[in-house]
A and B are shown apart, each in its own frame.
Chain A
Amino acid sequence: DQQVKQNSPSLSVQEGRISILNCDYTNSMFDYFLWYKKYPAEGPTFLISISSIKDKNEDGRFTVFLNKSAKHLSLHIVPSQPGDSAVYFCAAPPTSGTYKYIFGTGTRLKVLA
């Protein structure tokens, strides 16, 4: 049972445009979500998070939106840059205060120069 789903395995965007990466979840008990970015030959690095008490969190070019009723979150990158090309994972801890994250399958973003 895949509790965290990323249905788009890949996405290509022109440099300067907006990248929107989507993530759906099934467990309504999730109260915290994270996005990780992974470059080849490197481990995932934390990008941005959101608590379920918020519907938006912004950090520079990165904004995460949470729609609890739809059990959906999205990561917006504006403007997209070639260095943003990577695999992006959304993740949720099923128990608060732990690192027992459930990861989605990832979306490979390619930003075209």
Chain B
Amino acid sequence: ETGVTQSPTHLIKTRGQQVTLRCSSQSGHNTVSWYQQALGQGPQFIFQYYREEENGRGNFPPRFSGLQFPNYSSELNVNALELDDSALYLCAIGLAGGQETQYFGPGTRLLVL
């Protein structure tokens, strides 16, 4: 049981604000990836963290940043929010080197007005 949790579940922000989303799990999986899923789209890879370092990034601007903590929990920070940032944000945990076993949290739905 990996028990991936994300908080908050829903969030409303206004354009230009900053937001921090959180992800945690009960297990010791050492990678965490963040995805953005816009309405009607598949999840888009934002970045991945391994051993507290960013280990790969998708096509997202620097105002998307993250942290991974020693207890494997993670944060996604988004500065200068734009309307198009409205989406479901998913975190996924896994073990480095594995391709198959990636466990997703339920997501945080962000609405930017």
Instruction: Please give the residue numbers on chain A whose beta carbons come within 8 Å of chain B beta carbons, in ascending order.
Output: 4, 6, 9, 32, 34, 36, 41-46, 49, 89, 91, 93, 96-106
Contact = CB atoms under 8 A, between A and B. Distances in A.
Contact of A99 (B31, B42, B105): B31
Nearest to B38: A105
Interface of B: 4, 31, 33, 35, 40-45, 48, 56, 58, 90, 92, 94, 96-107
B90 A93 contact: no
Contact of A101 (B31, B41, B45, B101): B45
A104 B94 CA distance: 20
A99 B92 contact: yes
B99 A32 contact: yes
Given A34-B100, A42-B106, A100 B43 contact: no
A43 B106 contact: yes
A97 B104 CA distance: 17
A97 B99 contact: yes
B99 A49 contact: yes
A46 B2 CA distance: 13
Nearest to B98: A97
Contact of A106 (B31, B42, B99, B104): B42
- Among A41, A45, A96, A101, chain B packs the most CB atoms within 10 A around the CB of A101
Contact of A44 (B41, B90, B100): B90
A22 to B, nearest CB: 14
B106 A102 contact: no
Nearest to A33: B99
B65 to A, nearest CB: 17
Given A32-B99, A89-B42, A99-B102, 15 more contacts: A34-B99, A43-B90, A43-B106, A46-B100, A49-B99, A93-B99, A97-B99, A98-B56, A98-B99, A99-B31, A99-B99, A100-B45, A101-B43, A101-B102, A102-B45
